[in-house]
Amino acid sequence: MDKARRIAIRRLERSEKAETYINLLSDEAIPEDDRARVREYVSGVVRQKRYLDFLIDHYYRGKARKMHPRLRQILRLGIYELLFMDRAEHGVVHEAVELARRQVGVHTGGLVNALLRRILREREALPVPDSGDVAEDLAVRYSYPTWMVARWIARWGEEDTERLLQRMNARPYFSLRIHTRRVPVKTFHRWLEERAIPFEISPWLPEFVRMPRLQEVVRAGWLEEGFCGVQDEGAALVARLVAPQPGERIIDACAAPGGKSLYMAQMADDRVEIEAIDVHPHRVGLIETAAEKAGLTRIRTHVGDAREVLPERPPADRILLDVPCTGTGVLGRRPDLRWQRRQEDLAELTQLQDALLDTAAERLRPGGTLVYATCSLEPEENEARVQAFLERHPAFELEPPREGEVPEEVRTPEGYMQTLPHVHGVDGAFAARLRKKAQAR
């Protein structure tokens, strides 16, 4: 049997049973040649899980709820390969049948064979969700929680919501930030061309390139050697809004994995002092390693909750507060996150966001700027938090992005920066720049 499929089934079982994020499952035990395919299998099945279950429940002759959990995972993977991957149909069915026979029971082989072959026969006319509830049907078809889809329909309408769902279910491209202190941009482009690695230059950020896959870059060792780093352009635009200037002291209060700290230091040619704070020791260590590889010498790290660490720090010229949030703007890149979030999380997270904002406001010098950011699409975590903050803190005012800082396409009429996956083709990101008035005490 194919090793990658066996490993993928085990990973899918582990992530579902323990409700563990799939990016936390170590790759150490997977042969290097199989890693990319295992990740594709796992992330793809997790992304399409609800739709795959809809098809299983439709075609399964029996009580689907009583199905052996491993058998369901095998069927999910088989259907995913048939419908969403370019795989030889006979090989997919054969491998799924053998997996079921050996790992569930000999009697399940015929069931798997019959179900998958029926889906193949009817693939041009598969059943579609038709409950009469638009949010429910879209949520099943595109494999999202119904509560999320209902919220988006209420805000954007059915057509734009479907565009958003399609975009976040599409295979994501990778965005690389070139570390210009290590290698000139044109030189990095030449390296890519010499190896025939497909890429395109970001239309917004000259130090960034987009590419459909990372394997060639990983094999070339450029990530390990610090010539580049993976960072979505939406996240990078947040760092641009901070607008670091040489000689300033900047705090990145929720910094891990550190991409924004590195980009701010790079923009200022390593002539700013940056304190990167995060509550996770391991992730703080990654920031230090990445900064060293990129040739950036003035990033200092602190482990701890920003609400406790910030009051101990001297006032800063600028503070970036990229707060914990629902992450609905990055569900295309983090497919398992959609199944970990509940609508009730919003109330808990907005309380945390307010507390972080209030703490950061106290550690900013008069005349300094505080950039509040999320990777959320939800107004409760974005505009509503900014407005509530301004009501609590009259010494602050909203400072809209200036021309040249971020593209006009991502500047909102209200004075915020926002990217939307179905509009801008990058992860969802929101940011507001808040200036502390010079006479504030």
**Helix axes 69-84 and 108-121, enclosed angle (nearest 10):** 30
Please spell the DSSP secondary structure of 196-235, one letter per residue.
T---EE-SS-TTEEEES--HHHHHHTTTTTTSEEE--HHH
pLDDT above 70: percentage of residues in the chain: 96
| 138-148 mean pLDDT | 97
8 Å CB contact between 96 and 116: yes
Could you tell me the residue ranges of all domains in the chain? Answer: 3-125, 134-169, 174-220, 233-436
Nearest to 79 by CA among 47, 46, 120, 42: 120
Res. 239 pLDDT band, cuts 50 70 90: very high
Listing DSSP states for 364-384 in one string gives EEEEEEEEEEES---TTTTHH
Q: Quick one: pLDDT at residue 441?
A: 47
Mean pLDDT value across residues 193-221: 95
Closest by alpha carbon to 286, among 316, 305, 262? 262
Spell out the residues 6+ positions from residue 358 whose beta carbon is closer than 8 angstroms to its own: 389, 392, 393
**Would the pLDDT of 349 be above 70?**
yes
Q: What is the model's pLDDT at position 20?
A: 59
DSSP 162-205: HHHHHHHHSPPPEEEEE-TTTS-HHHHHHHHHHTT---EE-SS-
Q: Which residues contact 26 (CB under 8 A, 6 or more apart)?
A: none
- pLDDT, one tens digit per residue, over 255-298 is 988 999 999 999 999 999 999 999 999 889 899 999 999 999 99
Cα dihedral sign, 283-284-287-289 = negative
The answer to whether residue 22 scores a pLDDT higher than 80 is no
pTM over 0.95: no
Q: What is the pLDDT of residue 317?
A: 97
Q: What is the pLDDT of residue 16?
A: 80
Span 3-125: which CATH code?
A: 1.10.940.10
Span 240-266, mean pLDDT? 96
Q: Please classify residue 409 by burial: count the beta carbons closer than 10 Å to its beta carbon, then call 0-12 exposed, 13-18 middle and 19+ buried.
A: exposed
pLDDT digits 0-9 by tens, 105-121: 999 999 999 999 999 99
Is the per-residue pLDDT at 427 higher than 90?
yes
pLDDT of residue 368: 97
Mean pLDDT for the chain overall: 93
Class of domain 174-220: alpha beta
CA 181 remoteness from chain centre: 26
Assign 23 a pLDDT band (cuts: 50, 70, 90).
Answer: low
Superfamily of domain 233-436: Vaccinia Virus protein VP39 (3.40.50.150)
Q: Are 138 and 50 within 8 A, CB to CB?
A: no
pLDDT one-digit tens code per residue, 316-345: 999 999 999 999 999 998 998 999 999 999
Quote the CA–CA distance of 239 and 425 in Å, as a whole number: 18
**Which pLDDT tens digit goes with each residue over 30-75?**
777 788 888 899 999 999 999 999 999 999 987 777 889 999 999 9
DSSP 59-114: H-SS-GGGS-HHHHHHHHHHHHHHHHS---HHHHHHHHHHHHHHHT-TTHHHHHHH
